[in-house]
Amino acid sequence: MPTLIPGSDAIARIALERGDAPCLMCAIVARRVGDVHVVYEDDEQLVSLPRYVRRWGAVTVTPKAHVTSFTEVDADVWARSNALALRAARMIEAERRPRRTILASTGSAAGELVNSSTHLHLHVIPLYESEDRPADVFSWQAGVWVGDAEEWEALRRAYVARF
């Protein structure tokens, strides 16, 4: 079973793993930040399991090109990101059976932070409880879930089989 850790512990871990990488998402794409649990990858996109999540089973879809605004992103690349997010949402619903799944494009308005990036990306997040709200899912105040190597690999394998 994954472990719930304080958000402050997760931020400290990410800071160590990230080092001096100027963009967190680019560092993940380049495999310069911790383990990357890949569900799907091609020359343009990375679909992976974020290592620190508010809801177990979440997925991130990241265009590999570094873009920080919707005016910068190529329309075809963004359309493909959304198509992959839909595919990931269907995969999550089939495998994890959440009450619902939310999609969100997030990024730091405050600039590059330890646990957030200005690099455009999509979160695909399963919600399991009827009282789950977006504010609960995006705040790390209640802690974040982490898994051990076997838990990540089991989830990754299950997702790859359905993707």
Residue 109, pLDDT score: 61
Nearest to 152 by CA among 34, 18, 11: 34
Q: Judging by DSSP bridges, how do beta strands 121-127 and 45-49 pair with one another?
A: unpaired
146 three-state secondary structure: strand
Residue 114, pLDDT score: 55
- What is the widest separation between alpha-carbon atoms in the chain? 41
Domain boundaries, the chain: 3-162
Under CATH, to which class is 3-162 assigned? alpha beta
Q: Between the CA of residue 87 and those of 21, 74, 127, 162, what are the distances in Å?
A: 30, 20, 17, 10
**Separation of alpha carbons 21 and 17, rounded Å:** 9
Return per-residue pLDDT of the chain as tens, 163 residues.
Answer: 899 999 999 989 988 888 888 899 999 999 998 899 999 999 999 999 999 999 999 999 999 999 988 888 999 999 999 999 999 999 999 999 999 999 998 765 655 555 678 889 999 999 999 998 888 888 888 999 999 999 999 999 999 999 9
Residue 107, pLDDT score: 67
Residue 38, pLDDT score: 98
**Residues paired with residue 48 on neighbouring β-strands, in sequence order:** 38, 60
DSSP string, 78-141: HHHHHHHHHHHHHHHHHHH--SEEEEEEE--TTSSBTTB-SS-EEEEEEE-STT--HHHHH--T
Report which DSSP code applies to 53.
B
Residue 135, pLDDT score: 82
